[in-house]
């Protein structure tokens, strides 16, 4: 039966509900008895399985450290070579040409939602310092976004911030599967930060967002395997049943930002085929993952990161394969973040930064990406102009990309067909 949000969800008698160790402003509004019990349900049902997947990550890294290289999985060859597509992308997500990312700080959320971007990714992960106060404040802001009451009055400047008439669509990024929320304990152990962020958001906001056609939508960070995607899919199925949403209502975009995941793109889509809307090129974390994964392989040392641009072979191949796989499976291929940002007060540096962003976005749209990321509101018109000129439709999903091939086998440049 769907949860009654006016009453606490019920945990099995043998399971103690989560305990909050720290009092912060807004917690009573966010951490209601029902919301905490729902997080407890997620932790009780999926916590041990999540732990086993994190152990599996460690074991695989040990194999890499002993000399093994990432490769396609022979047991999933039929999935990679099969003719199939994911469920259709919902109308609200058809046009994602410009996505702005940022923290869940109240003022910055309003600015991002008003930026003119198609989508705002509200980031509980990389863009938000994970203090408990910040996390709880972010979830309180999500409640106000749900209710249309997200406002901010700045006492220092006297400025008022209100949402405009056509705000961006919000997609929430919870923290990664490898992280814990140490301020909330269950059974003597901290709960999963990913389950905490997802659980609070879907419990409080899921039905309202679904009723308005605004979600619930998520970005899933740091996945390393299709088995982790399978876990998320099972979490979605359970949450939808408990909250009272039809199967497939939740839609997720997976960041391909780890080297092992680059070899399992088809499999990740397959596991989430009823809930997936796209894959995203998380280039900076992908470079870090390359370094971490191949740390014992002297033949794969990288130069200074400032020299590693997306036209380098292993990154260009990774992006091309992502586009090819996504379009073959009927979902969006989202581009990554440009490192350049506006430089106020320095016209020469400012113009150079905008030129770099234009070139980066032009490379993405010509490669076949259906949208791109920016981190500053002033870059919205820059990115939009590039995509509008080259992509007249809402996306390029129907434009197949079967001609890419990476040639010789390289561990960071997955082959075209696996």
Bridge partner residues of 371 (DSSP): 334
Distances (CA, A) of 312 to 95, 148, 275, 309: 28, 44, 32, 6
H-helix segments, 219-310: 226-243, 259-262, 265-271, 283-293
CB atoms within 10 A of CB 346: 11
Rg (CA), the chain: 21
Cα 57 to the center of its chain, rounded Å: 19
Report the pLDDT value the prediction gives residue 17, as an integer from 0 to 100.
Answer: 85
Report the pLDDT value the prediction gives residue 308, as an integer from 0 to 100.
Answer: 85
Give phi and psi for 54, each to the nearest 5. -70, -35
Integer Cα distance of 213 and 202 in angstroms: 14
Residue 155, judged by CB atoms within 10 A of its CB (0-12, 13-18, 19+), counts as exposed
Read off the tokens for 62.
């040990």
Bridge partner residues of 198 (DSSP): none
Report the pLDDT value the prediction gives residue 307, as an integer from 0 to 100.
Answer: 83
Q: 276-308 in b/e burial notation, b at 16+ Cβ within 10 A?
A: bbbbbbbbebbbebbeebbeeeeebeeeeeeeb
Spatial strand order of the sheet with 19-20 comes to 19-20, 180-186, 189-192
Integer Cα distance of 350 and 126 in angstroms: 25
Integer Cα distance of 150 and 312 in angstroms: 42
Report the pLDDT value the prediction gives residue 79, as an integer from 0 to 100.
Answer: 97
SS3 120: strand
Contacts of residue 240, Cβ cutoff 8 Å, sequence gap at least 6: 206, 246, 247, 248, 249, 250
Bridge partner residues of 337 (DSSP): 373
- Each residue's pLDDT tens digit, 277-309: 999 998 889 999 999 999 999 999 988 877 888
Residue among 172, 262, 276 nearest 218 (CA): 172
- Each residue's pLDDT tens digit, 178-212: 999 999 999 999 999 999 999 999 999 999 999 99
Integer Cα distance of 117 and 144 in angstroms: 20
SS3 29: helix
Longest dimension (CA), the chain: 66
Integer Cα distance of 364 and 370 in angstroms: 8
Task: Say if CB 104 and CB 122 are below 8 A apart.
Answer: yes
Contacts of residue 300, Cβ cutoff 8 Å, sequence gap at least 6: 290, 294, 411, 412
Task: Say if CB 69 and CB 263 are below 8 A apart.
Answer: no
Task: Say if CB 36 and CB 197 are below 8 A apart.
Answer: no
Cα 360 to the center of its chain, rounded Å: 21
Report the pLDDT value the prediction gives residue 415, as an integer from 0 to 100.
Answer: 46
Report the pLDDT value the prediction gives residue 14, as an integer from 0 to 100.
Answer: 61
For residue 107, whether the previous peptide bond is cis, meaning omega lies within 30 degrees of 0, is no
Q: Residue-wise pLDDT tens for the chain (418 aa)?
A: 455 554 545 566 667 789 999 899 989 999 999 999 999 999 999 999 999 999 999 999 999 999 999 999 999 999 999 999 999 999 999 999 999 999 999 999 999 999 999 999 999 999 999 999 999 999 999 999 999 999 999 988 999 999 999 999 999 999 999 999 999 999 999 999 999 999 999 999 999 999 999 999 999 999 999 999 999 999 999 999 999 999 999 999 999 999 999 999 999 999 999 999 999 998 889 999 999 999 999 999 988 877 888 888 889 999 999 999 999 999 999 999 987 888 888 999 999 999 999 999 999 999 999 999 999 999 999 999 999 999 999 999 987 655 555 444 454 555 445 5
């Amino acid at each position: 039966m769907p949860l009654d949000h006016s009453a606490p969800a019920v945990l099995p008698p043998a399971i103690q509900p989560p305990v909050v160790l720290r009092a912060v402003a807004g917690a009573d509004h966010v951490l209601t008895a029902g919301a905490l019990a729902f997080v407890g349900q997620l932790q009780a049902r999926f916590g041990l399985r999540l732990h086993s997947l994190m152990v599996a990550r460690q074991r695989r890294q040990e194999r890499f450290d002993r000399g093994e290289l990432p490769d396609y999985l022979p047991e999933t060859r039929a999935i990679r070579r099969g003719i199939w597509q994911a469920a259709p992308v919902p109308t609200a997500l058809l046009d994602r040409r410009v996505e702005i990312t940022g923290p869940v700080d109240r003022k910055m959320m309003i600015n991002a939602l008003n930026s003119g971007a198609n989508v705002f990714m509200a980031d509980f992960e990389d863009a938000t310092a994970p203090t408990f106060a910040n996390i709880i404040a972010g979830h309180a802001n999500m409640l106000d976004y749900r209710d249309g009451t997200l406002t901010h009055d700045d006492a220092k400047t006297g400025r008022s911030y209100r949402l405009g008439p056509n705000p961006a669509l919000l997609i929430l990024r919870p923290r990664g599967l490898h992280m814990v929320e140490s301020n909330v304990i269950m059974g003597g152990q901290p709960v999963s930060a990913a389950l905490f962020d997802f659980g609070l958001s879907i419990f409080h906001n899921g039905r309202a967002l679904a009723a308005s056609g605004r979600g619930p939508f998520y970005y899933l960070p740091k996945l390393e395997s299709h088995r982790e995607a399978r876990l998320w899919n099972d979490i979605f199925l359970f949450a939808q049943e408990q909250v009272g949403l039809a199967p497939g209502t939740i839609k997720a975009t997976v960041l391909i930002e780890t080297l092992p995941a680059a070899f399992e793109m088809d499999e990740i889509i397959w596991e989430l085929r009823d809930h997936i809307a796209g894959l995203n090129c998380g280039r900076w974390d992908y470079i870090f993952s390359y370094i971490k994964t191949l740390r014992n392989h002297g033949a794969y040392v990288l130069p200074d990161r400032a020299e590693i641009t997306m036209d380098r072979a292993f990154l260009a191949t990774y992006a091309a394969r992502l586009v090819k796989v996504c379009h073959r499976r009927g979902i969006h291929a989202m581009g990554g973040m440009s490192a350049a940002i506006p430089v106020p007060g320095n016209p020469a540096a400012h113009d150079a930064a905008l030129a770099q962003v234009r070139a980066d976005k032009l490379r993405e749209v010509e490669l076949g990406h259906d949208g791109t990321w920016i981190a500053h509101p002033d870059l919205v018109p820059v990115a939009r102009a590039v995509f509008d000129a080259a992509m007249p439709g809402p996306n390029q999903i129907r434009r197949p990309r079967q001609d890419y091939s990476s040639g010789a086998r390289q561990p960071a440049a997955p082959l075209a067909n696996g």
